[in-house]
Structure 1
């Protein structure tokens, strides 16, 4: 999904969350996840390769995108969805005991990586209307500006990048 810089800046101004006097339940969960696991924008966070780790990865992503980086709510929502898809693939298809989550920001872009010890490459499959699974990389392909896989000496890093307006 491509949004012009002017459109993204307008979205950012209109959809930025106002600071709350007291965090809500999700905000508290996100803060707790940061405290327990660490900040993936500072250093890679290792999580157990279990389905429930997807919720932790979503909370960490939301906390960094909204709290640390101050991105728009819509951009954060897309990043959270895509992280969930990449984590789901790592948990379901790699047989790993753990996976890593890392988030990077550079001028005009964010990059989110999910690292696992498998060298098996994910495949973007054609999606039909009635399919009930296999839509993860399809969503990544549609919502991210770029995505890919980097083979590492021990495993791989599946990543996506999204354009962001600089402050």
Structure 2
């Protein structure tokens, strides 16, 4: 993916031998996507890689925000041992980025990736649309349109990297070193 703005020398956790689907607690998800169970709205996830070692591809459906939240919480709390407060904020922000990708891009799939380097984490959501997200002014009584406002407020920095086919929307947060 190019354009990794300052993430040279990022810390990567050692891969584990247990299946990614079991680690993330996603029932029925494995490395080869199975047909969705016979219930409407069921989501199958093709876990191509762990979000810390590569991308996790998700279907562009509202349910994918919940999957992204669980993945983010698991990595930040269990794998990287970060604070619950930071994890809670990152979970909210990843949910907003995935929700925006689902709502506004018309994509079939999107991808989630998490990176860590000394003092920083970076979470990326990639989609095939080259349409740029727009930070809108927010009023007290607005019931929608707060996603990027939250990303802008709670992250230390965020941005969009245009790709030959799509874009990556990302945010970074400072973390205490171990």
Residue matched to 1:149? 160
Q: How many residues align?
A: 140
**TM-score of the aligned structures, taking structure 1 as reference length:** 0.80
Residue matched to 2:9? none
- In 1, distance between residues paired with 2:125 and 2:25? 21
Which of structures 1 and 2 has the larger relative contact order (alpha carbons within 8 angstroms, sep 6+)? Answer: 1
- In 2, distance between residues paired with 1:119 and 1:30? 33
Residue matched to 1:17? none
Give 2:62's match in structure 1, choosing from 34, 51, 56.
Answer: 51
Residue matched to 1:31? 24
Confirm or deny: 8 A CA contact 1:30 1:62 kept in the other structure: no
Shift of 1:30: 6.8
- In 1, distance between residues paired with 2:173 and 2:156? 5
Give 1:70's match in structure 2, choosing from 66, 81, 90.
Answer: 81
Does 2:95 correspond to 1:97?
A: no
**TM-score of the aligned structures, taking structure 2 as reference length:** 0.75
- In 2, distance between residues paired with 1:41 and 1:78? 18
Extract unaligned runs of 5+ from structure 2.
1-21, 31-46
Residue matched to 1:133? 144
Flag as ranges the 4+ runs of structure 1 deviating above 4 A: none
Residue matched to 1:166? 177
- In 2, distance between residues paired with 1:93 and 1:128? 21
SS of 1:33's partner is coil
* CA deviations over 1:98-138 (Å, ceiling 9, x no partner): 00000000010000000000000000000001111000000
Extract unaligned runs of 5+ from structure 1.
1-28
- More helix, by proportion: 1
Change (3 A) 1:59 1:30: farther
- In 2, distance between residues paired with 1:30 and 1:123? 35
